Amino acid sequence: MMPMPQVDEVPPPPPRGPGVLAPFSSPPRDRDLRGLWWGLGIGGVVLVLCCVGGVVGIGFAIPYLNSIAQTQVSAVVEDYLTDLKNEDFPSARRLLCEPEQRAHSLGWFEDHFGTARVTEFTVDADRVSFGPEIVVPARVTEGGSVVAKEFVMQQDGTQYVICGGVD
């Protein structure tokens, strides 16, 4: 075997440009945590604002929803009394819940409100009470005498119906 001739030549350096690796990696740098803390602080402030906004929003929504319900139940009682005043007994009867409709036939309406006709009424929407039962107070003039009535309301699907205080 023949020995290989020794070459004293150094290989040429790699060309400059993209994709060229440096002969050593860059030294590690100290990380500045200021940006991290700013980000966490801003995120925390946004989270607190969202929570406070949700609580305040619910605080405003509950009375608004309550006033909508007051308006709806008062409107049903007003429609009922208007139908009685106009002697439109079939329409008035449709505003009653199922048990009240069974208990009060169309003939009952004609007998009861034919003699003691409703001439005037006032529904007090501001005094509607929401408890175990929804009660709508009204002052009704029947046959010349003023009667204080309390109509008990019930929700039937998407609408309110009268389920007490008809007599």
Domains of the chain (ranges; CATH) run 39-162 (3.10.450)
Q: Supply the pLDDT for residue 47.
A: 94
Q: For the whole prediction, is pTM greater than 0.85?
A: no
Of 30 and 80, the structure prediction assigns the larger pLDDT to: 80
Please report how many Cα atoms fall inside a 13 Å half-sphere around the Cα of residue 37, on the Cβ side.
Answer: 4
pLDDT in tens, 83-94: 988 989 899 999
Whole-angstrom distance, CA of residue 143 vs CA of residue 149 = 15
- Which of 40-49, 85-94, 118-127 is most confident? 40-49
